[in-house]
Structure 1
Amino acid sequence: MATEEFNRPSLPPYPQMIMEALDALKQADGANKSSISKYMESKYGEMPPGHADLLSHHLNRMKDSGELLFIKNNYLKPGPDAPPKRGRGRPPKPKESLPPGAIPAPAKPRGRPRKDPNAPPAPKKPKPPSGPPSISKTGRPRGRPRKVNPQPLMNGTEV
Structure 2
Amino acid sequence: MATEENNNPPPAQPPHPAASIPQYPEMIMAAIEALNDKNGSNKSAISRYIESTYADLPAAHSTLLSHHLSKLKQAGQLVLVKNNYMKPDPNAPPKRGRGRPPKPKAPLPPGTVVSPPRPRGRPPKPRDPFSPPPVPKAKKASSGSGRPRGRPPKKAKTAAASAAAPSDGPPRGRGRPPKVKPAVEPIGC
Band the TM-score falls in, shorter-chain normalisation: 0.5 to 0.7
Unaligned segments of structure 1, at least 5 residues = 125-141, 144-159
What is the TM-score normalised by the length of structure 2? 0.50
2:33 maps to 1:26: no
- Within-5 A mapping of 1:71-150: 71-87=81-97, 91-99=101-109, 101-111=110-120, 119-121=129-131
**Residue 68 of structure 1: how far off its partner (Å):** 1.6
| SS of residue matched to 2:28 | helix
**What is the identity, as a one-letter code, of the residue corresponding to 1:15?**
P
Give the count of matched residue pairs: 123
Percentage of pairs with the same residue = 47
Runs of 4 or more, structure 1, over 6 Å off, are 114-118
- Aligned CA RMSD, in angstroms, stands at 3.7
| SS of residue matched to 2:80 | strand
Instruction: Work out whether residues 18 and 57 of structure 2, in 8 Å CA contact, stay in contact via their aligned partners in 1.
Output: no
Distance 1:104 1:62, change over 3 A: same
Q: Distance in 2 between matches of 1:93 and 1:121?
A: 46
Unaligned segments of structure 2, at least 5 residues = 1-13, 135-143, 146-189
Tell me the equivalent position of 1:13. Answer: 23
Q: Distance in 1 between matches of 2:69 and 2:26?
A: 11
Instruction: Work out whether residues 98 and 104 of structure 1, in 8 Å CA contact, stay in contact via their aligned partners in 2.
Output: no
Q: Which has the larger radius of gyration?
A: 2
- Cα deviation, 1:58-103, whole Å, max 9, x if unaligned, reads 212322343222222211111002232345666544322124x451
Instruction: Work out whether residues 17 and 56 of structure 2, in 8 Å CA contact, stay in contact via their aligned partners in 1.
Output: no
Instruction: Work out whether residues 68 and 76 of structure 1, in 8 Å CA contact, stay in contact via their aligned partners in 2.
Output: yes
What is the TM-score normalised by the length of structure 1? 0.58
